[in-house]
Chain A
C-alpha cells in the first residue's frame, strides 16, 4: 500500500514538474532590453570641449570629436568636481558643466538603422570572427540595394522568415561593441562578402534551395553566396 502511495505521489510530482517545465518554456521567451549608453552629438562634444577649454581642463582643438584628449579632460573635470571619473558625459556631469543633454537647437537624429543592424549582427553572428560580422551586416545592406528585396534596413530585417533571430526573438538582445563596430563599418561601405545576398551555416542549413546559390566566400561558420 505504501508503495502505491509513493508511486502516486511521485507520479504527481513528475506531473507538476512537467507542468512547471511547460510553463517555464512558455513564459521564458527572450525579453527586450535596452541599456545602450547614448553618446554625445558632435555639437554637444563641441560644447563640452569649449567649456573645458575655458576652465583650463582641455588643451586640444574644439573639433567636436570625442577623442582621448577630450576624455582625459572630462575625467579630470569629474575628479575635481567629486563625480565618478569615467570620462562619460552623463546627466550629472552635464549638469556640473552647465549644459543640457536633450533639446539641442540643431537637428539630430538617432541611428535606429545602425542599432537595428547591430542587433541583427549580434543575434546572427556573435561568436563569429569580426570580418564575418561585417559581412553579415553587408549582406543586409546588399539586400536593401537589390531589386529582389525590400528597400529599407527594417524592411529587409523584418521580412518574414528572412532571419531566424527575428523569429526566435534574439533580435531584441542588446548588441555588443563588436556588433556595433561591424554594423558601422558595413554602413561605411565595407563589404568583405562582395555583394553577397545570402549566408548560411553549412552545418545547420535545412533549405535545399540555399545550396543552389553561388558561393562567394566562407568566413568562419558562414557561407556567403549570391
Chain B
C-alpha cells in the first residue's frame, strides 16, 4: 500500500493541507484504508525530504499547504506506469495453513476450509454492504477490488476442497 503515492496523486490536483489530504484519501478509498493524521504528516515530511512536495504557504485560516514538485509529478507518473507486484499477499498464512492441514494426518481439512469459507463470506457480505453504501465511482471501484480478491479466495477454497477430497478418495 502506498500512502506516499496516494498523497502525491491528491496533491497533483492542487495544493492541500494535512487534514484535507487525510479526508480525501479516505473518501477516495471508500474508508477501506483509514489513515491517522500522524501518518499523513510523517509521509509529507519524507516527501518533502525527497524533494517530491514543497511547503506552499498557508490558507486564509493559517493551515500549512503543500504542493507537488516537478520531481513529484515524475514520480507519480512512474508509479501509475508500474504494475503492482503479486507479493506480500495476506493469503500466505492461509495457504500455509491449508498446506499443513492437507499434509497433517489427523487434521480435518474440510473443517479448516469450511471455517475459512464462512469467514471469507462474512467479509464479502460486509464489503457488499460497503459497496451498496458507496458514493462515487472511485470509492465503489476500490471496494470492488477487495470483493474480487475475497471472491478469488472463495474460489480457491472450493478448489482446495474438491482436490483434497478426490486425493483422499484415491488414497483410501
Is B a genuine binding partner of A?
no
**Which chain B residues have a beta carbon within 8 Å of chain A's beta carbons?**
none
